Amino acid sequence: MYEDTKIVENDLFMKEFKIYKQIKSFDDLKKLNQCVFLDNLDPNLFNAIELNLNSLNEEDLKTSGLRPFNEIKCYELKSNPGLLVIPNPFENGYQRFLIKKCLYEYHDPPNKTNLDLHMKRDGNLWTNALKCQNFGEFNKLRWTTIGYHYDWTNKVYNELDYTDPPVDVAELSRVIAALIGYKNYKPEAGIINYYHLNSTLSAHQDHSEKNMNAPLISISLGSSAVFLIGTTTKTEKPVSLLLRSGDVVIMSEKARLAYHAVPKILADPEIDNFFQQNNEMCQSRKWYVSDQEWNNFYNYIKINRINLNIRQVNNND
């Protein structure tokens, strides 16, 4: 999925990728003055998209850790129709839970990780990480697959290699899909990407899914990423978006097959803001993560990024 070795003449996507890869800090990024920050969207670049509760009710949003309906905003990038962004729609504190799940649980067998390609598991990866300085082998974790496990060699989803996606991820993605009008969305596969500050993800299209009509839903957690979103050709200059913890990107319709990439991960000077929780309100929620428990997850996530990427693979009957 991630390899796109096609050499293209006049590759403007690559040109941008190289510019952003060299950036060292948030200040550098701001000086460049080209990357779109989602907290202050330029109406010349984005259209507001009307969300719809459709078959949902406020309670469905609440159980998925989302804010009340009227507080969730969605925008479409005018230059790339179908590319939607939902700037952090989560309740305060809910991101702690998602991060905990990605670090502690979602990589457990039968889910697969890149580490399984060359080592046998010996207990839970995160429990082992905490016994080591600086998380030890856990730093080598690059991806976990859920649902239909992706076969990276043959670039297909393996029909026979399926485990139900985690319920919280499945429910959350169904709710997000419904809000943008996809009432029958089936979250059938997912990739959880784990990035260090010097990781990159090169330009690619996600075209292994049989179903190209269902949107691809992507949730950013932890450190920030410069995300490049282009069109179906690399000869067009991509737009760069800064994705911060909690931001949701949706690739739908014409943007479903757009080239995209992550040239840069940056430690976010405002990262603490995304994980604050109102303890009185949150303690009753099933997703509550106490400050004490949060500490180790926080130490990892302040210098790493997690991306949860959910797809429908098959066509609806």
Residue 294 to residue 95: CA distance in whole angstroms: 11
Q: Please give the C-alpha separations between residue 252 and each of 77, 84, 120, 181, 233, in angstroms, as whole numbers.
A: 11, 8, 38, 11, 16
- Residue 12 binds which one of Fe ion, ligand AKG, none, with CB within 5 to 8 A depending on kind? none
- Closest CB to Fe ion among 95 and 307? 307
Does 118 show up as a binding residue in the annotation?
A: no
Q: How far is the CB of 284 from ligand AKG (least distance, A)?
A: 32
Q: How far is the CB of 307 from Fe ion (least distance, A)?
A: 9
Is residue 189 near ligand AKG by the rule CB under 6 A? no
Q: How far is the CB of 149 from ligand AKG (least distance, A)?
A: 14
- Residue 193 binds which one of ligand AKG, Fe ion, none, with CB within 5 to 8 A depending on kind? ligand AKG
Is residue 282 near ligand AKG by the rule CB under 6 A? no
Is residue 256 near ligand AKG by the rule CB under 6 A? no
Does 116 show up as a binding residue in the annotation?
A: no
- Closest CB to ligand AKG among 31 and 204? 204
Upper half-sphere CA count for residue 28 (Cβ side, 13 Å): 13
Give the N- to C-terminal CA distance of the chain in Å, as an integer.
26
- Residue 201 binds which one of ligand AKG, Fe ion, none, with CB within 5 to 8 A depending on kind? ligand AKG
Is residue 206 near ligand AKG by the rule CB under 6 A? yes
Is residue 218 near ligand AKG by the rule CB under 6 A? yes
Residue 89 to residue 72: CA distance in whole angstroms: 5
Closest CB to ligand AKG: residue number: 307
- Residue 169 binds which one of Fe ion, ligand AKG, none, with CB within 5 to 8 A depending on kind? none
- Residue 307 binds which one of Fe ion, ligand AKG, none, with CB within 5 to 8 A depending on kind? ligand AKG
- Residue 225 binds which one of Fe ion, ligand AKG, none, with CB within 5 to 8 A depending on kind? ligand AKG
- Closest CB to Fe ion among 168 and 206? 206
Is residue 149 near ligand AKG by the rule CB under 6 A? no
User: Are residues 189 and 158 in contact, defined by beta-carbon separation less than 8 angstroms?
Assistant: no
Contacts of 119 (CB under 8 A, 6+ apart): none
Is residue 206 near Fe ion by the rule CB under 5 A? yes
Beta bridge partners of 249: 85, 218
Does 260 show up as a binding residue in the annotation?
A: yes
- Residue 258 binds which one of ligand AKG, Fe ion, none, with CB within 5 to 8 A depending on kind? none
Site of interaction with ligand AKG (CB under 6 A): 1, 191, 193, 201, 206, 218, 225, 227, 260, 262, 307, 309
Site of interaction with Fe ion (CB under 5 A): 206
Residues annotated within the binding site for Fe cation are 204, 206, 260
